[in-house]
Structure 1
Amino acid sequence: MSQPSRSTSLRLTVAFGLALALALAACAAPPRAAPTPAQPSAEEAKPAEATAPTPGQPKPGGTLRVGTNQDAVGFDPHLTNATASYRILENIYSSLLRFKPNLEIEGDLAERYRAIDATTWEFKLRKGVKFHSGKPLTSADVKYSLERIKDPEVKSPRSSQLAPIVAIETPDEYTVIIKTEKPFAPLLAVLADRTMAIVNKDFIEANGGKLDNVADGTGPFKLKEWVPNTRTVLEKNPDYFIPGQPLLDQVIYQPIPDDTARSTAVRTGTVDFIEYAPPKDLELLRSDSNIVITGEGNNNVRFLAFNTTVKPFDNPKVRQAIAWAVDREAVLQAAVNGAGTPLYAGPFLPSFWPGLQAPVYKRDLEKAKQLLAEAGYPNGFTAKLKNTPTYSFLGNAGIAVQEQLKEIGINLEIESLEWSVFLKDYLGKNFEAVVSGYSGFADPHTPLDGTYVTGRQNNFMSYSNPKFDELVAQGAQETDQAKRAQIYREAQRILLEDSPMVFLYAANEYEAMQSYVKGYVHYLNGSHVSFRQVWLDK
């Protein structure tokens, strides 16, 4: 299918709106009508509660075997850029806040929280929380963690998200005060992100400042073992702060990059659960009475990105020509069997509140050829495209784009790389063009600021436009969502004009599991944090 169902689009619209309303609210309790953060509220946020699993009689014990698309690429929650790592680390660490499945925000390590004024937030921590090593959690750990992310020497790709914070105070062991220079509407959404993990300062220092293959969190599971490209084993944290969770004794992640092999593994019972259930296999999986499918809508973006410092991609007309030449529907079909939405405008679905409604780039080969001629390439050119087959939805998209661009004389020579090599080159800006993506955002500020603002750690295209930067900063300070949407739409139009990347599609995402796997909940940001409430009915 080329479009998500009407109910999916509605869920995405409502969920994203709710998540951002919470980030804008002065009180962190789930709102019906969201107040603005400029006015503090006397009512405090409710603490996180254990989400009720599937009706029945949940029973503790057992091991969940998870077939993943890829192995973890590093275990430092403040440094990794790999989704495969996030989905493990989010079950090892906790953050101040966290998202519910529909992206509403609730407390995690923060038992309650409130806005004191437009630029000051108070967070009251749970008492009795311990790191896996046994060390009690205090406000000093929160301060250390957030300041570590902000530290330029650490080089966290999330540092810009915390740049508006000017002070983190700890008046006592269980109180954290966060101050921003100006109103910062996305603050709660930023703090709820799984990359904002609270770490143990003593543990990091004992490991030479690195968390490459070790972990000490406060989450529902502990890191027991990591055998690269073979398995990652998590074991139950008996001291987890939510009573009765987790139910599982262990979670074992097994990388199975091949789509067909992953589907076969869950059908034959080699694993209990797979992520990225291949859209091409959904009909087959659904026909098996022992298999349950969940998922659909997901906030992700898949794109063709350019290194804007190298020829010919330093020329905006070349980038625009490619944007006009790409057939997004065909790319979507090749990448995920049509299970998603083509992105004809900015990096957001039209159903997301700041999304552009009208298409900007629909395929027009004559316009593409004209722009190439104006750029000085009337006969096209040859360039290199780095691609990875590890994620089929990226590798297949790259092949589709390669074929389409031949029609305007552009020959993209594909260099197919294994994921870890691909990621190293991508993060190191060692490419001319590349097909990649990002996901997991709840507030538009996160991708717009972190990926496109001049000099940001995740701005791998080396893109720069001062007007765009100004609008993103302005949007973060605006507390009225309608006005924010207008600002972000203007920023997206600049982005589309400059085209440092061509937005291809947003994919639906599915999980497949044995029918005895109970309690799993699909999150709109692709999170697997519901593993803490999963149980095995066997």
Structure 2
Amino acid sequence: MRTGRPGGRCSPVQAPERDPASGRRRGNGTPTPIRQARGPQGTEGRGGAGREALCRTPSSRSHFPTFDVPPAIPGCYHSSMLLLRHGRILLLLLLVSACAQKLPVDEGRLVIALPGAPVNVDPRVATDAYGEQILQMTHASLVRRNAAGEPVPDLAERWESPDPLTCVFHLRPGLRFHDGRPLTSDDVRYTFSWILDPANRSPHRALYRHIEAIGTPDPRTVVIRLSEPFAPFLSTMVRGIVPAGSPARGYAPPVGAGPYKVDDLSPDGEAVLSAFDAYYGGPPAIRAVTVKFVPDSNVRFLELKMGSVNFVLNGVDPDLLPAASLPGRLAVEEGAGGNVTYLGFNLRDRALSDARVRRAIALAIDREAIVRSIWKGRADLVESILPPGSWAHDASLPPIRFDPARSRRLLDEAGFPDPDGDGPLPRLRLTYKTSQNEVRRRVATVVQEQLRQLGISVEIQSLEWGTFFSDVKKGNFQIYSLTWVGIADPDIFHHAFHSRSAPPDGANRGGYSDAEVDRLTEAARREPSRSIRREKYRRVQRILARDLPVFPLWAGRNLLVRDRRLSGFVLTPDESYAPVRAMRIVPDPSTPASGGRR
């Protein structure tokens, strides 16, 4: 295994400016390909994007052209590449500046750009972040979470628990769905009964197994009876309610009762939403919302600068934030983040079933260098998937520090010695799956190079989001990287690591099994005392830190880039889009009234 350094003056611990089309192996220059796997919708740039004219109306569903940047050497940060990338963006901005037009914000429209399209927009089955974020704007639940993550009234104006096994919800008067139908207790019962029906294969079914019966004594009262005490019960009630009889219709969302209704939804383009006048909290001030699905980070930034997109939450590359912060139409906000990015392992794999191999991989990844060079310091290292702000987070977990020497010793002990010294043969070969998100691909490229230095050959498969997430849920991976979004309760440990929580009943995708983790997570579910639950979850976190079924990497900070005229959005640690309903468009004295002419 040869680990020689490349020529030139590049620092070996810094990340590449761009995720190259092929990552070059350091030392002998032989390329290690990044495989662009084709999913159902094709690769990035599908639907002819990249061939249309630059001048177009902001409401068009297709996107701006992408452009190529020469590949960088993995493990190095090229300032020249940064200048070239920003120079090309500036050139495109100059070209399109002649296409003066009225911007969406001038017409009262909020245009959000998401880094990917949702896999599903049905609250009974959706599990991906993009689908959940749209549902936060379109569907209402019995309860919702406030900025601190605590349950507060939503469709239910109040509730009480006469005993540990019973919860009685009282619905607000006059509730209606988007199609005008009254929302009653029958709809609540239908929604949860549908999820509990094994024939429907809902991935949320395991969360509601403790429900023994749902009573509806009158149209505004729901009585839920549990089979046993269940401490995180209220947090599971954050689930969008749909009308009784609503079938699962593939990509088409069922009718909701949230502040916005869905007028149109295209998996290849965008979701078009409009204000719901009969929303119980009053119609939102911004009447029209478009959610664009824009996988390419450069395109998202271009659309922001041009004004055809005016709201991006955690979708602007850290490299581009200085340009977004310059005086002009855009404003940048930063807030605490509670979404944890992690590396997942398939414990059914022969090599990865050995905890020594998993720890060796963790020790070989220089997380501090990645946070510094790719995230520009806007992320915090973590040792647990439970975010630092959680009441059950164990801050005493020992950190996993970059230690390649110890990593090599662990691989030797696990039976994966260096086969040829300074030769080219690796200790083992692995496949790393990720999405086509630009930053995620750059992270994967740096991890690839860091593991190559250890003697592990890594093939990166960069997949279309739907294909990638489907593979993860099916267990079709060796290593993958994802981010847990919106963790509200430490019961996530049961959902993600209990031996009976394999998909579709949970998120134990790697096949982890530990009798003590099973026992502790089950006991914590039944325990009403928060202090006792905290101690049980701390013990769980110590076991997971020992076994490393997943390797927690960092919690990214929330970064919002928006038009200055948009106000009222409150950043929350869980990256919630629910505050969109409180947004307004206000005058900006520093911006000319014409907005799009500059």
TM-score, with structure 2 as normaliser: 0.75
Q: Kindly indicate whether the alpha-carbon contact (under 8 Å) linking 1:429 and 1:460 is maintained by their aligned counterparts in 2.
A: yes
Deviations 1:440-466 (A, max 9, x none): 111111x21211111322111111112
Distance 2:525 2:327 in 1: 47
The residue aligned with 2:241 is 198
Q: Kindly indicate whether the alpha-carbon contact (under 8 Å) linking 2:317 and 2:439 is maintained by their aligned counterparts in 1.
A: no
Distance 2:434 2:245 in 1: 40
Distance 1:139 1:366 in 2: 61
The offset of 1:523, in angstroms, is 2.0
The residue aligned with 1:342 is 381
Alignment of 1:155 onto 2:205 = no
Distance 1:288 1:158 in 2: 45
Alignment of 1:175 onto 2:221 = yes
Structure 2: gaps of 5 or more residues: 1-104, 419-426, 588-598
The offset of 1:397, in angstroms, is 2.2
Distance 2:521 2:269 in 1: 42
Select which of 566, 578, 587 maps to 1:529.
578
Deviates more, 1:152-161 or 1:77-86: 152-161
Q: How does 1:394-433 map to 2 (within 5 A)?
A: 394-433=440-479
Deviations 1:105-139 (A, max 9, x none): 21101011112122211100112111112221111
Distance 1:61 1:132 in 2: 24
Q: How does 1:228-377 map to 2 (within 5 A)?
A: 228-243=267-282, 245-276=283-314, 277-343=316-382, 345-358=383-396, 359-377=398-416
Deviations 1:234-288 (A, max 9, x none): 1111111113x21222111112222232223222212121122332222222223
Alignment of 1:387 onto 2:428 = no
Q: Kindly indicate whether the alpha-carbon contact (under 8 Å) linking 1:75 and 1:212 is maintained by their aligned counterparts in 2.
A: yes
Summarize the Cα distance change of 1:360–1:152 in structure 2 as closer, same or farther, 3 Å threshold: farther
Distance 1:131 1:86 in 2: 19
Q: Kindly indicate whether the alpha-carbon contact (under 8 Å) linking 2:341 and 2:482 is maintained by their aligned counterparts in 1.
A: yes
Summarize the Cα distance change of 1:335–1:187 in structure 2 as closer, same or farther, 3 Å threshold: farther
Distance 1:444 1:335 in 2: 29
Q: Kindly indicate whether the alpha-carbon contact (under 8 Å) linking 1:69 and 1:275 is maintained by their aligned counterparts in 2.
A: no
Instruction: Work out the percentage of aligned pairs sharing the same amino acid.
Output: 30
Summarize the Cα distance change of 1:496–1:230 in structure 2 as closer, same or farther, 3 Å threshold: same
Deviates more, 1:107-116 or 1:414-423: 414-423
Q: How does 1:503-518 map to 2 (within 5 A)?
A: 503-518=552-567
The offset of 1:396, in angstroms, is 2.3
The residue aligned with 1:48 is none
SS in 1 for 2:263: strand
Q: Kindly indicate whether the alpha-carbon contact (under 8 Å) linking 1:324 and 1:367 is maintained by their aligned counterparts in 2.
A: yes
The offset of 1:372, in angstroms, is 1.2
SS in 2 for 1:90: helix
The offset of 1:175, in angstroms, is 0.8
SS in 2 for 1:240: coil
The offset of 1:406, in angstroms, is 1.8
Q: Kindly indicate whether the alpha-carbon contact (under 8 Å) linking 2:285 and 2:583 is maintained by their aligned counterparts in 1.
A: yes
The residue aligned with 2:177 is 131
Q: Kindly indicate whether the alpha-carbon contact (under 8 Å) linking 1:61 and 1:535 is maintained by their aligned counterparts in 2.
A: no
Q: Kindly indicate whether the alpha-carbon contact (under 8 Å) linking 2:335 and 2:572 is maintained by their aligned counterparts in 1.
A: no
Runs of 4+ in structure 1 over 6 Å off? none
Deviations 1:325-344 (A, max 9, x none): 2222123235422211112x
Distance 2:147 2:198 in 1: 33
Distance 2:388 2:284 in 1: 37
Deviations 1:154-173 (A, max 9, x none): 22222222222222221211
CA-based RMSD: 2.0
Distance 1:405 1:145 in 2: 46
The residue aligned with 1:37 is none
Q: Kindly indicate whether the alpha-carbon contact (under 8 Å) linking 2:487 and 2:574 is maintained by their aligned counterparts in 1.
A: yes
Distance 2:194 2:375 in 1: 38
TM-score, with structure 1 as normaliser: 0.83
The residue aligned with 2:549 is 500
Q: Kindly indicate whether the alpha-carbon contact (under 8 Å) linking 1:61 and 1:248 is maintained by their aligned counterparts in 2.
A: no
Summarize the Cα distance change of 1:335–1:468 in structure 2 as closer, same or farther, 3 Å threshold: farther
Counterpart AA for 1:381: L
Summarize the Cα distance change of 1:120–1:61 in structure 2 as closer, same or farther, 3 Å threshold: farther
